[in-house]
Amino acid sequence: MKVNLNAVRDSLIADYGDREGYVCLAHVYGRSQENPRGYYGPQRFFRYPDDTDRVLTSIKAHVNSGADVYLPTSLMTETARNKRTVPSNVVSFEVDLLNNKEHTASVLNALRAGLVSSGTRGHFHVRITLTEDISHDRLVRLGRLIYLACDVKDGGKWHPHDILRVPGTLNHKHDPPTPVRVFRKPREIDLSAVKSVLHEHRSLLKGVGTGKEHTAGGAIATEEIKWSDVPVRAQRQYRALDSGMWVNDRSRGVWAFLGECRKGGLTRSQTYYAATALDQKRAGVIADKYTAHQIEQQINKVYAMNTGNK
């Protein structure tokens, strides 16, 4: 199976339109049964639309070499992916597992969302196309609200500079590789209609933007600590997250932060407070990746590795 460059080109046009900026091309190579995560190669930036042919050529070369290819759905304002993006009308995120398929389908249908199969059974990417461009900050907030309204159990990447698989390429996590393809195109929707849908599901959005969603109602009790109580190694991992060092795989960065909290002697309750309330007070980089419930799940996984901790 080969790369479908026509589908790749269509995807670029659908996401970027006639805007100008920088395309960030990321790839993962060397995936195998022994190393399913593979290795992240260096990011490359191309001027859009001037360098479109170069983007297509690079994507073809990566896929033909057995690499997985990823692009953000928004253009960068400069050659750095952890910076602001060009205003856009595309809101996107990924879904790996749902709490309620019928509920999510209802929300996505109401939002006239497009869906892209990632090549892994049950995993897909969502694209919602607005009738107008909105700023980077509004894209971040709206993406998170829609993601929460969909009640996704596992997923993320609602940030406009987060990378997603590209339709027309292949998913090399599987043998043989499986195609990444559009199975439903989005239809434009105006912001007022989006807000109406969100209002219908406001119970899932309670506390968003206030930090309250990260400090109440979880199975892990919270124990308040100061940032100075967070182990030095964990603080370093957090700074790496904030600096963009983990921009290609924030889940690994969050896992590293939680792991260093555990190794440094924090209890689950203290680590939960650090990953929620303290994160909100600082850069919010963990909240950009996970909901409170997902943070709770990650902490339980980390602490299950060492039953000597509380």
pLDDT tens digit sequence for 171-187: 998 889 999 999 999 99
The CATH code of the domain that includes 53 is: 3.90.920
* 245 or 100, which is more confident: 100
Residue 218: strand, helix, or coil:
coil
Phi/psi of residue 57, nearest 5 degrees: -65, -40
Residue 53: strand, helix, or coil:
helix
Owner of token pair 């970027």: 16
Kindly state whether residue 237 falls inside one of the protein's structural domains.
Answer: yes
Q: Same domain, yes or no, for 9 and 127? A: yes
pLDDT at 292: 76
Residue 202: strand, helix, or coil:
helix
Q: Which residues contact 80 (CB under 8 A, 6 or more apart)?
A: 244
Q: What is the mean pLDDT of residues 120-125?
A: 93
Kindly state whether residue 310 falls inside one of the protein's structural domains.
Answer: no
pLDDT at 231: 93
Confidence of residue 145 (pLDDT cuts 50, 70, 90): very high
What tokens were used for 174?
Answer: 């599987």
What tokens were used for 175?
Answer: 């043998």
- Tell me: cis bond preceding 176? Omega within 30 of 0 counts: yes
Q: Same domain, yes or no, for 88 and 217? A: no
Split into its structural domains, the chain has a count of 2
Phi/psi of residue 217, nearest 5 degrees: 85, 0
Of residues 183, 76, 70, the one with CA closest to residue 124: 183
Q: Last residue of a domain, which of 185, 203, 221?
A: 203
pLDDT tens, residue by residue, 212-242: 444 334 467 788 999 999 999 999 999 988 8
Owner of token pair 């930036």: 45
Phi/psi of residue 9, nearest 5 degrees: -60, -45
Q: Would the pLDDT of 138 be above 60?
A: yes
Q: Same domain, yes or no, for 88 and 177? A: yes
Q: Same domain, yes or no, for 191 and 223? A: no
Q: What is the mean pLDDT of residues 190-217?
A: 72
Q: Same domain, yes or no, for 27 and 160? A: yes
Q: How far apart are alpha carbons 194 and 47 in whole angstroms?
A: 32
pLDDT at 116: 97
Residue 84: strand, helix, or coil:
coil
User: Which residue range forms the structural domain that includes residue 61?
Assistant: 5-203
Length of the chain: 310
Q: Same domain, yes or no, for 259 and 161? A: no
Q: Which residues contact 60 (CB under 8 A, 6 or more apart)?
A: 3, 5
Q: Same domain, yes or no, for 9 and 37? A: yes
pLDDT at 205: 80
Of residues 285, 142, 278, 112, the one with CA closest to residue 205: 142
pTM recorded for the entire structure: 0.75
pLDDT at 287: 81
pLDDT tens, residue by residue, 235-262: 999 998 887 777 667 788 899 999 999 9
Q: Would the pLDDT of 309 be above 50?
A: no
What tokens were used for 275?
Answer: 């990953």
pLDDT at 214: 40
